[in-house]
Structure 1
């Protein structure tokens, strides 16, 4: 799950499609090209309209551009980088980037975003990132995400993550949440029965939770590091966002967040 977006083409607006077999058709209050009739559930007319949209022009679903931007962690990390570089350089991004799925960004704003993305790529100075890495491979297991207060793992009876002070596991059922384990460098051992043992030079605890870096073989020795970040590391979201904005400028249609 994460944030996706699209921009409608102009084929229907410019009269380049065959007439819709049902109607009336237009942009609804949320900006979606829709069948503007009230109905209970998914009606036969809506099915006919959807079939027309799928084949009325060369663009799939009448979308000039359609992009997956990032999962929510990647999206929050991008926002974090923008804030570290200075929101004053990115006023349109700050105003227009959504906090959840849904909404739209006007084409006029998309034009300004293109300039802000250029500034981010060429001039942004970003804070160092805090990461938890596998000491054997340097693979990143967790990244500090300020929007989540560092918490990236959730389950019954635990919250785990990483911040500037190290890796931590909290008991969310206590008030305030008690720290079950915290360390900047530690060993991890997966035990039977769904438990994980965390240990460093001072302590050893067993906690019922998923292992850190659980995809594949979990790492055994982990440590927290601070390392430099470059704007190019955010190409995964900058480039699709740029393509969406270019499509919005070309068509005059908004970027639809979804």
Structure 2
């Protein structure tokens, strides 16, 4: 599950929408809807207002703009980059970027967000990153995320990457135990679906799927590297936030996370 964002249109505010069927407005979280708390006596009115939101104007769900932010890991990666670059330079972004699938950027804060995005793109110095790389192609698959303690796959085994290399933690042990750690290793799929990992003088066999198994052919040799990065590495995230902010300035409405 990832993160999406939207900005409401102004059709209701400007009298261009179908008249609402009850008292509507923005709540304290920036959501447009029925202003009375739900209970059994007004459940039908809440339903009517929800239908009005979905069909009351030419915009789907009364949204002027809707954007896919992406996976949570990407959001956390951007937040980590802001903190490591100089968190004190990005107070608004760090305050309003989503922590869960709710929240908002108030319209009044949008100019500050845009100024901080300018600073990030043109003046911020980003720290190096730790990445897990396909040794044959140089493609990076996973980066070290502090908030996830480096873990990028969860299950009976947690797989992750960090300052000490790639690691596998067996969650079935009590307490959970690290069963493999290496900076450079090979993976091999065995008959029966087991995965063999070999590196730094260790070999383990695990009942788990290969790393980067979304590829037609998962990589065989992997290594942990430290790489430099720039704001250009976050161009998609920054571009999405800029479009949302532009929509907020155009409508005077907040940016909502969902």
TM-score after normalising by structure 1? 0.91
Instruction: Provide the residue aligned with 1:103 in structure 2.
Output: 103
- The whole-number CA distance in structure 1 between the counterparts of 2:220 and 2:206 is 15
SS of the residue corresponding to residue 138 of structure 2 reads coil
Cα distance, 1:188 vs structure 2: 0.5
- The whole-number CA distance in structure 2 between the counterparts of 1:97 and 1:173 is 35
Q: How does 1:215-254 map to 2 (within 5 A)?
A: 215=214, 216-254=216-254
Deviation per residue, 1:173-224 (Å, 9 max, x gap): 3354321111111110011333110112512111121211111222111111
Q: How does 1:115-154 map to 2 (within 5 A)?
A: 115-154=115-154
- The whole-number CA distance in structure 2 between the counterparts of 1:142 and 1:69 is 18
Instruction: Provide the residue aligned with 2:81 in structure 1.
Output: 81
SS of the residue corresponding to residue 154 of structure 2 reads strand
- The whole-number CA distance in structure 2 between the counterparts of 1:42 and 1:145 is 45
Stretch deviating more after TM superposition (118-127 or 94-103): 94-103
SS of the residue corresponding to residue 53 of structure 1 reads helix
Deviation per residue, 1:62-99 (Å, 9 max, x gap): 11221111201111110111011101110111211221
Instruction: Provide the residue aligned with 1:26 in structure 2.
Output: 25
Q: Is contact 2:144-2:150 (8 Å) kept?
A: yes
- The whole-number CA distance in structure 2 between the counterparts of 1:199 and 1:11 is 61
SS of the residue corresponding to residue 155 of structure 1 reads coil
Count of aligned positions: 256
Instruction: Provide the residue aligned with 1:72 in structure 2.
Output: 72
- The whole-number CA distance in structure 2 between the counterparts of 1:41 and 1:136 is 64
Relative to structure 1, the CA distance from residue 201 to residue 96 in structure 2 (aligned partners, 3 Å threshold; closer, same or farther) is closer
Cα distance, 1:257 vs structure 2: 1.2
- The whole-number CA distance in structure 1 between the counterparts of 2:81 and 2:203 is 35
Structure 1 unmatched ranges of 5 or more: none
Q: Which has the higher contact order (CA 8 A, sep 6+)?
A: 1
Note the aligned Cα RMSD (angstroms).
2.1
Q: Is contact 1:169-1:180 (8 Å) kept?
A: yes
Relative to structure 1, the CA distance from residue 42 to residue 257 in structure 2 (aligned partners, 3 Å threshold; closer, same or farther) is farther
Cα distance, 1:48 vs structure 2: 4.3
SS of the residue corresponding to residue 248 of structure 2 reads helix
TM-score after normalising by structure 2? 0.91
Instruction: Provide the residue aligned with 1:169 in structure 2.
Output: 168
Instruction: Provide the residue aligned with 2:197 in structure 1.
Output: 198
Q: Is contact 2:184-2:200 (8 Å) kept?
A: no
Structure 2 unmatched ranges of 5 or more: none
- The whole-number CA distance in structure 1 between the counterparts of 2:110 and 2:19 is 30
SS of the residue corresponding to residue 137 of structure 1 reads coil
Q: How does 1:174-189 map to 2 (within 5 A)?
A: 174-189=173-188
1:3 has 2:3 as partner? yes
Cα distance, 1:162 vs structure 2: 0.6
